[in-house]
Structure 1
Amino acid sequence: MKYLLFTFLNIFTVCSSHTAPKQTTTSQTQRAERLEPKELSLTWEVLEEKYQGKNQTLSVLTFKNEGKKPLPATGWSLYFHSTPSFKTKDSDAPVKTEPINGDLLRMVPTASFKPLASGATVRVEFVAAGQILNESRAPKGFYLVWDDDKTKGHDLPSVTLVKPAKDQVGWIKPQDIFAQNRSIKDLPAQQLTKVFPSPAQYKETGQSFNLTAAVPVIADNAFQREATLLAGHLETIFGQKPAVQAPGAAGKAIRLQKKAGLGPEAYELEVTPQGIVLSAATPTGAFYATQSLKTLLPPSALAKKQASVAVPGVQVKDEPRFGHRAFMMDVARNFQKKEQVLKVLDLMALYKLNVLHFHFNDDEGWRLEIPGLPELTQVGGRRGHTLDEKNFMQPALGSGPTVDASSGSGYYTKADFIEILKYARDRHIKVIPEIETPGHARAAIKAMDARYERFMKEGKKAEAEQYLLRDLNDKSVYRSVQYFNDNVINVALPSTYAFLEKVTDELLAMYKEAGAPLQTIHYGGDEVPNGVWEKSPVVQNLLASNPSLKNVDDLWYYFFGKIAAMAKARNLYVSGWEEVGLRKVRTNGKLSYVANPDFVKENMHMDVWNNQGSNIDLAYRMANAGYKVVLTNVSHLYLDLAYQRSYEENGLYWGGFLDVDKPFYFIPLDYMQSMRVNDDNQPLTSLAAFDGKERLNPAARANIVGLQSPLWSETVKTPERLEYMLLPKILGLAERAWAPDPAWATNPASAESKAAYTQAWSSFVNVLGKRELPRLNYYSGGFNYRIPTAGVLVEKGQVQANVQLPGMTIRYTTDGTNPTMKSKAYTGPITKKGMISFAVFDAAGRMGRVTTVENK
């Protein structure tokens, strides 16, 4: 019987195989007759700004069939990323757009779409809200989905973005950059302060020390870790690691010694012909002394292996102005690998930044493995084309249809995170993890939905509901700033607090295993939209059972009160964005925010970013009310903002533009005096916006605990782009957070202060161009910092050029080609007629953007 069955199956298989080609389905035939997705090219171009006299933009998307088979009239969709306002101009257009969620949209053919034949094109015009100043707001991440297999997304070639034919938005001009650079003087290298950031006291003696690999590092027992790290750096210079020894040895040496009476981060550094002495009361102070020694060494020392290095003779006494000097790294929107995080920590340590605010989750991703909650990273840490988000998240920010193929996916294992914590600990950097709550939590919500479904299939209802983050019967309607309608945790659910306790306890365990300090966790708290929780049954039950809760607004204080209690029980304090410490006040139907007195006593620390519009003075209002405030002002410290108002400068611009000067001229204790330009980068002609605004009370100055620069990663998809947006802007923050309050900041409007500022600015950019950026060509593997664009002025038949960072070289051509390292260096005004192209080059041969002008 088995034999007969086997024979029958073989015969059936052979017959089926033999006759299969005759049974080709209609669907298979259709697939064979349509173009390959990779053969559909797209080109996008802005046609008109202020279209119809409104704050909107008219653009055109051109489809071209580069293949030999047609794109059918129906049966497909194009998914892409843009604002939901991106819609076709004409009602009878061949396609229409449909918002899905967040920035993900779908484009489908209408009845007027005709098959796109080989070589054919079709143009579709679109209207979208706002102006498009650069490519950051262009539609991106296009991929195709066939209707007969809606679960599969097919990559298209990257959309070609065409620069608008004419300037309709007022891009920065070469002469504008020239004017900005005009006050900068090229200072002799010997005049520059050779320790960075600028120390409190600094004196050069003229008596240098000859450093070689044979010079040992002799360190007090308490400073052995710092000595070992310093010796490791010297090995990159000499090719040989200096010996690290305990105290007692005589002779020339680098000595790390204890000295009582210095502050916790203070140090002294002295270089004489007999050696180098680094003094501190704590390991932290000793570490900063070693970092100052690194910047004291010539930057060229890292370019190739050295036999010896002359260390300038100096006497330095130094300590930081602020105790909290932070960089916020967003790895949720786009992921950065562990190695890049370690590299960022190297950079932070060199410039004495001591807090990494680690933004590891948001709507678009959860990036940290939490033991016991595998869905957080399996679902929340991965993005790709999906119809239900049960296995991974939908694409966002142009991450594409393929899971694990872009920076949209990725996470740190527990071992990765512990390694990061140890690395930061050794460099005296505190890592503050951020758990975004209750808004910006879509990745966590979707992950816990997947967990719920898994346990429900197993018949384990209690386990399924243990960490659920939303009310399954909630009918509330809302839309977040980033266009999501399902990204807010329900704060009335007991399971919400069980989830946060679980994540908090697992974080504490990781920090303990790493031997890293943890005094606070950042619990987010920003941008919860109107409409949230209003139609949630569990919320209504909570309001009905708790007389102290009058409406959904009161749930804010209920939630963060419970969070504060949870943190306090674990010997932590709460950090958050400013909304955590604000209370809603409605007067005659108008909503405003005031500092909430209830949480002041809870030792909550606020990162205050919003200094726009009516909130110009918000940070000072909160500090005056008693909150500890970290200034995170969007106007001067948001690194993800584009450097300049230029089409070629990618980056966001909703909060203005941020070049290297803005963090440098930021005045922390009177920052309204720092507000020189508006969001369009135009000089402020009126100070009326500051009238009646609250200033920082002298008694509240101690409540300004530090400064922070965030780098949100919506447009940051690669390590190179991260470094470009980070550097050199972060060096302005490092200077302002560490260095003493400059004299020019006391009365910046006076002629004397303006002259002092001009001198200080020249010194700063000379240090960057001649010392720190050349150092960063090699330090920690080298950094992809931004090289400035040349300023160019055509006037009276002459062409003049200048540069923001002296020490870099301007080169030019007159033959229509782009400059190269072999092109002629600019040394003075050019009288040749015609088109002249300029570019700035650094010492390593990398170039900035090309500027072309005509000398008529």
Structure 2
Amino acid sequence: MTSMDLIPHPRHVTAYSEEDGFTLTAGTVLAAGPGTEAVARWMRGVLGAATGLAFAPGERSADGVVRLAIDEHVPGGPEAYRITVDPSSGVRITGAGPAGVFWGAQTLRQLLGPDAYRRAPLGRGRTWRVPALHLQDAPRFGWRGFMLDVARHFMPKDVVLRYLDLMAAHKLNVLHLHLTDDQGWRVEIRQYPRLTEVGAWRTRTKVGLRESQVWDERPHGGYYTQDDLREIVAYAAERHITVVPEVDIPGHSQAAIAAYPELGNADVIDTTELGVLTSWGVNPNVLAPTEDTLRFYENVLTELLEIFPGEFVHVGGDECPKEQWQSSVTAKDRIVELELKDEDELQSWLIRHFDRWLAERGRRLIGWDEILEGGLAPGAAVASWRGYSGGIAAARAGHDVVMCPQSHVYLDWRQSEDPDEPVPIAHARTLEDVYRFEPVPGDLTEDEARHVIGTQANAWTEVMDSVRVVDYMAFPRLAAFAEVAWTPLPAPAERDWPGFERRMTTHYARLDALGVEYRPPGGPRPWQRRPGIPGRPKPGPPPVG
């Protein structure tokens, strides 16, 4: 095990003699240059807690200095950084911006060894030694995302904060919070209190997928107050992570319709009979394409914009069955009124409306690749989940793309062919499969490829009913994904899988120190299995289109 087993791997590193290095002691001071004060606070709070060292402020000390500085000339953009460790003087972390300094501090944490990930020192007088080196690093993508679905199974605020720390440890910088769906509405909206009074709670929950006959008869629910979300956003910002909220429009909306039945297609079904959905799968109960629906969601988004200051707002747009619209006089009249061709164009009209509405307020809409159907809204970005094809079409049309194909980076898919994998879904996607994921399709031109602004791994929680299960499904694959998102790697077939596997030996020790209940390389531990709960495994390799 070596502290040089860095994940994600840096672009350039020169390591010097193993006998050289710098030892942090109680007398080592922390010199925070202008603009690095927040990183210094993080280091004192996190690294100080793990090591027991004070990192007192100061410019010089006989025991050396850890120096933080900003130099906009560090190549690679605002998140770039370099580290120099000199045995005689100490550690210098220089970032092109505050984010770069922070990512450099995360690398320093890895260099200190797995015990630097604990919350208190172990009390056995260990030496905190950093190897002598010169390291220069910068990310490949500006969007390095992780989507956490808190709508299907609610995750308390402390779980979200913990995952922000785990993201920061892996240099991921976008948390996509999936806040609403058929099975629950998780964000307080002051103007519409029934969204959480009614929509945040379901009477029971299907255990496993739709085929399962097992039910958890306990009511399930929860939501975040607006102050909870402000805290999450502020906590993320301190870690240079942007939080992107998702509120689903027009499908995946039964929880909202259960709270406010007038949002549904009341001329087709009795929407007053709908409750928050207790099972899983694509659901026909979608929003009605009315002016009242538009005003309702404008008001919802107005409150969200007060909480989430980031550029992007995710509106879903996926898996919207059109059967109710096809039977609805209101929807048919709307198609005629707007001179649209069909229900696909009706959905496109609705998405375009919110694209314009957000743009007028200085924000940008992003949605799943179904928003391409019926015409892509100008200015909208696409999260390409049904393979690469949607992202390719969007990039060729000049739209920005976040690549998150289910065939590669859906973390609810099973991790091996092992029959003991809990509630096995779809095809097996191993740690090596994720490590060999390439976000930019080779058939894009150089100009088109620039529209791939990043990549994202998605954790859908239909069968992840606790943080222990989320840990198991996310890790260690999220570590491999983090390297793909950060490090410019060679073609998938040429990647150094044995080298990554070796580096993971050290990284498992970091995850252990963090308390992450990851899937071990040899398969699930007995308590990580889920006997008696059927999944939906598929044989053979997944489609990659």
* TM-score band w.r.t. shorter chain: 0.7 to 0.9
Structure 1 position 473 matched with structure 2 position 267:
yes
Task: Show structure 1 runs of 5+ residues with no match.
Answer: 1-188, 386-393, 450-467, 512-516, 584-595, 672-694, 791-838, 841-845, 850-856
Residue 361 of structure 1 corresponds to 180
Residue 201 of structure 1 corresponds to 12
Structure 1 position 662 matched with structure 2 position 433:
yes
Of the three residues 495, 498, 502, the one matched with 1:766 is 502
Residue 99 of structure 2 corresponds to 284
Instruction: Give the residue type in structure 2 aligned to 1:738.
Output: W
**Aligned residue runs from structure 1 range 699-778, under 5 A:** 699-742=447-490, 744-745=491-492, 748=493, 753=494, 757=495, 760-769=496-505, 771-778=506-513
| Cα drift, residue 652 of structure 1 | 4.2
Residues of 2 paired with 1:518 and 1:483: CA distance? 30
| Cα drift, residue 550 of structure 1 | 2.9
Residues of 2 paired with 1:193 and 1:701: CA distance? 32
Residues of 1 paired with 2:324 and 2:133: CA distance? 60
CA deviations 1:161-217 (Å, max 9, x no partner) are: xxxxxxxxxxxxxxxxxxxxxxxxxxxx45x84332111101111221001233121
Residues of 2 paired with 1:726 and 1:734: CA distance? 11
Of the three residues 396, 400, 407, the one matched with 1:624 is 396
Q: Does structure 2 conserve the Cα–Cα contact (< 8 Å) formed by 1:383 and 1:395?
A: no
Residue 141 of structure 1 corresponds to none
**Aligned residue runs from structure 1 range 159-238, under 5 A:** 189=1, 193-206=4-17, 207-238=20-51
**Aligned residue runs from structure 1 range 415-454, under 5 A:** 415-449=227-261
| Cα drift, residue 439 of structure 1 | 0.4
SS at match of 1:502: helix
| Cα drift, residue 522 of structure 1 | 0.2
SS at match of 1:446: helix
CA deviations 1:93-142 (Å, max 9, x no partner) are: xxxxxxxxxxxxxxxxxxxxxxxxxxxxxxxxxxxxxxxxxxxxxxxxxx
SS at match of 2:201: coil
Residues of 1 paired with 2:528 and 2:321: CA distance? 41
Residue 413 of structure 2 corresponds to 641
Structure 1 position 400 matched with structure 2 position 176:
no
CA deviations 1:24-60 (Å, max 9, x no partner) are: xxxxxxxxxxxxxxxxxxxxxxxxxxxxxxxxxxxxx
Structure 1 position 505 matched with structure 2 position 302:
yes
Q: Does structure 2 conserve the Cα–Cα contact (< 8 Å) formed by 1:361 and 1:367?
A: yes
| Cα drift, residue 368 of structure 1 | 1.2
Summarize the Cα distance change of 1:762–1:483 in structure 2 as closer, same or farther, 3 Å threshold. closer
Residue 81 of structure 2 corresponds to 267
Identify the structure with bigger relative contact order (alpha carbons < 8 Å, sequence gap 6+): 2
Residues of 2 paired with 1:212 and 1:766: CA distance? 30
| Cα drift, residue 444 of structure 1 | 1.1
SS at match of 2:221: coil
| Cα drift, residue 483 of structure 1 | 5.2
Instruction: Give the residue type in structure 1 aligned to 2:410.
Output: Y
| Cα drift, residue 259 of structure 1 | 1.4
Residue 254 of structure 1 corresponds to 66
Q: Does structure 2 conserve the Cα–Cα contact (< 8 Å) formed by 1:199 and 1:740?
A: no
Residues of 1 paired with 2:311 and 2:246: CA distance? 13
Taking structure 2 as the reference length, the TM-score comes to 0.88
SS at match of 1:221: coil
Residues of 2 paired with 1:473 and 1:260: CA distance? 60
Of the three residues 84, 106, 112, the one matched with 1:297 is 112
Residues of 1 paired with 2:343 and 2:450: CA distance? 34
Residues of 2 paired with 1:485 and 1:732: CA distance? 33
Residue 189 of structure 2 corresponds to 370
Residues of 1 paired with 2:203 and 2:207: CA distance? 9
SS at match of 2:192: coil
Q: Does structure 2 conserve the Cα–Cα contact (< 8 Å) formed by 1:522 and 1:575?
A: yes
Q: Which structure's CA Rg is the greater one?
A: 1
CA deviations 1:599-627 (Å, max 9, x no partner) are: 3xx2211110112xxxx633223222222
**Aligned residue runs from structure 1 range 815-830, under 5 A:** none
Summarize the Cα distance change of 1:773–1:847 in structure 2 as closer, same or farther, 3 Å threshold. farther
Residue 311 of structure 2 corresponds to 519
| Cα drift, residue 717 of structure 1 | 0.6
Residue 517 of structure 2 corresponds to 784
Instruction: Give the residue type in structure 1 aligned to 2:509.
Output: P
Summarize the Cα distance change of 1:848–1:330 in structure 2 as closer, same or farther, 3 Å threshold. closer
Residues of 1 paired with 2:197 and 2:504: CA distance? 43
CA deviations 1:39-93 (Å, max 9, x no partner) are: xxxxxxxxxxxxxxxxxxxxxxxxxxxxxxxxxxxxxxxxxxxxxxxxxxxxxxx
SS at match of 1:737: helix
SS at match of 2:224: coil
SS at match of 2:35: helix
Residues of 1 paired with 2:250 and 2:227: CA distance? 27
Summarize the Cα distance change of 1:412–1:399 in structure 2 as closer, same or farther, 3 Å threshold. farther
Of the three residues 308, 313, 323, the one matched with 1:531 is 323
SS at match of 1:256: strand
Residues of 2 paired with 1:257 and 1:494: CA distance? 53
Structure 1 position 488 matched with structure 2 position 286:
yes
Residues of 2 paired with 1:476 and 1:550: CA distance? 27
SS at match of 2:300: helix
Taking structure 1 as the reference length, the TM-score comes to 0.57
Summarize the Cα distance change of 1:484–1:606 in structure 2 as closer, same or farther, 3 Å threshold. closer
Summarize the Cα distance change of 1:488–1:235 in structure 2 as closer, same or farther, 3 Å threshold. same
Summarize the Cα distance change of 1:509–1:636 in structure 2 as closer, same or farther, 3 Å threshold. same
Q: Does structure 1 conserve the Cα–Cα contact (< 8 Å) formed by 2:5 and 2:507?
A: no
Instruction: Give the residue type in structure 2 aligned to 1:626.
Output: G
Q: Does structure 1 conserve the Cα–Cα contact (< 8 Å) formed by 2:7 and 2:479?
A: no
Instruction: Give the residue type in structure 2 aligned to 1:223.
Output: T
Residues of 1 paired with 2:241 and 2:228: CA distance? 17
CA deviations 1:280-332 (Å, max 9, x no partner) are: 12111111110111111111454724453111111111000111100000011
**Aligned residue runs from structure 1 range 9-24, under 5 A:** none
Structure 1 position 606 matched with structure 2 position 367:
no
Structure 1 position 576 matched with structure 2 position 367:
yes
Residues of 1 paired with 2:430 and 2:332: CA distance? 48
Q: Does structure 1 conserve the Cα–Cα contact (< 8 Å) formed by 2:417 and 2:428?
A: yes
Task: Show structure 2 runs of 5+ residues with no match.
Answer: 209-213, 272-276, 530-545
Residue 826 of structure 1 corresponds to none
Residue 814 of structure 1 corresponds to none
CA deviations 1:553-592 (Å, max 9, x no partner) are: 3202211111111111111110000011233xxxxxxxxx
CA deviations 1:535-554 (Å, max 9, x no partner) are: 223223323333x2233232
Q: Does structure 1 conserve the Cα–Cα contact (< 8 Å) formed by 2:358 and 2:365?
A: yes
SS at match of 1:310: strand
**Aligned residue runs from structure 1 range 647-686, under 5 A:** 647-654=419-426, 656-670=427-441
| Cα drift, residue 660 of structure 1 | 0.8
CA deviations 1:425-445 (Å, max 9, x no partner) are: 100000000011100111111
SS at match of 1:668: coil
CA deviations 1:604-662 (Å, max 9, x no partner) are: 11110112xxxx633223222222111101111111111112321014423x1111111
SS at match of 1:418: helix
Residues of 1 paired with 2:215 and 2:264: CA distance? 26
Summarize the Cα distance change of 1:483–1:540 in structure 2 as closer, same or farther, 3 Å threshold. same
Q: Does structure 2 conserve the Cα–Cα contact (< 8 Å) formed by 1:208 and 1:271?
A: yes
Summarize the Cα distance change of 1:357–1:660 in structure 2 as closer, same or farther, 3 Å threshold. same
Q: Does structure 2 conserve the Cα–Cα contact (< 8 Å) formed by 1:215 and 1:243?
A: yes
Q: Does structure 1 conserve the Cα–Cα contact (< 8 Å) formed by 2:29 and 2:61?
A: no
